[in-house]
Chain A
């Protein structure tokens, strides 16, 4: 006969096993999307160079800001990469507005991750969130540069 203490321990252990097996089961559902995203990121790393990104900018501030947000939304990777590319863009004479929009949208908007976000968190949520983040990357760029000019 099991004591009360032992059966409580057993049910606790069972709950741990159930919690983790549920976690693994839920996680395994997103593995195809996850592998797809990783493979797409690999393609981007291999096919798109920093020079290709820099060559797109035109010199017109408003056009470049929209371009900055668009490119930041399409490209993805570690934020460090966006800082390095952003720094290089500044050196090449691209406006701070465009570079800020580029850096802001790099992490907040994810066109490549969109299929995973839509599959897991819902299509409507993913599209609305990415659209808003795209627009806000330009708002943030304008606000940051204007504030910087006032402060500095």
Chain B
């Protein structure tokens, strides 16, 4: 039990360290670009602030959902609906949630990580992320530009490919894991 806790802590520290290094890299990039074109770099800061304001409601929703999932979801429940034994039900849930979820993709990573820690299959995470390409409220705009038949065909292929990708990712990652286990 202690080892699991230690591993989790190590993983969290790694995430924080990686995140801070990345953030510092972007700040340095801004400083360098500022000397090349100060006006565009100012605009970039403004654009970033606008993006942040736009995603704030979704961030709040994600934190809320994470809290709710911590409270209600036990590893047993997650593994029943989204785990190894979830079957077709799991794929259908991942596809539906991917289509229904809103906001930027990266905002959903922490919640998915939480669900993964509770036992969600990696394939279902990939399927969820892929289906974020299918956005029902945006379909009218897409139809305006490309036509209804094109949008219908593309949407169907997107959903099929999302499941294929989920299955493939599981196969690839399992192969890696097996190889690593054998070499250990």
Contact = CB atoms under 8 A, between A and B. Distances in A.
B109 A42 contact: no
Contacts of A1: none
Interface in B148-169: 149-150, 153-154, 157-158, 161, 164-165, 168-169
Nearest to A136: B161
B100 interface: no
A100 B137 CA distance: 19
A86 B37 CA distance: 28
Nearest to A20: B67
A144 B122 contact: no
Interface residues of A, number: 65
Interface in A114-132: 115-121, 124-125, 128-129, 132
A18 B66 CA distance: 12
Nearest to B42: A46
Given A100-B154, A121-B125, A42 B45 contact: yes
Instruction: Tell me the dominant secondary structure on chain A's binding face.
Output: helix
Interface residues of B, number: 73
A151 interface: yes
Contacts of B176: 124
Instruction: Tell me the dominant secondary structure on chain B's binding face.
Output: helix
A107 interface: yes
B10 to A, nearest CB: 13
Given A42-B45, A47-B44, A107 B133 contact: yes
Contact of A27 (B110, B157, B172): B110
A80 interface: yes
Contacts of A37: 106
Contact of B18 (A33, A107, A144): A33
A45 B15 CA distance: 27
Interface in B74-114: 105-107, 109-110, 112-114
Given A27-B63, A43-B33, A46-B47, A33 B158 contact: no
A41 B145 contact: no
A125 B19 CA distance: 17
A144 B19 contact: no
B51 A47 contact: no
B178 interface: no
18 contacts: A18-B70, A20-B67, A29-B16, A40-B29, A42-B45, A43-B30, A45-B43, A46-B41, A83-B146, A106-B133, A117-B109, A125-B126, A129-B126, A129-B165, A136-B164, A140-B154, A140-B157, A148-B153
Given A125-B122, A139-B161, 6 more contacts: A30-B109, A45-B47, A83-B146, A129-B126, A129-B129, A148-B153
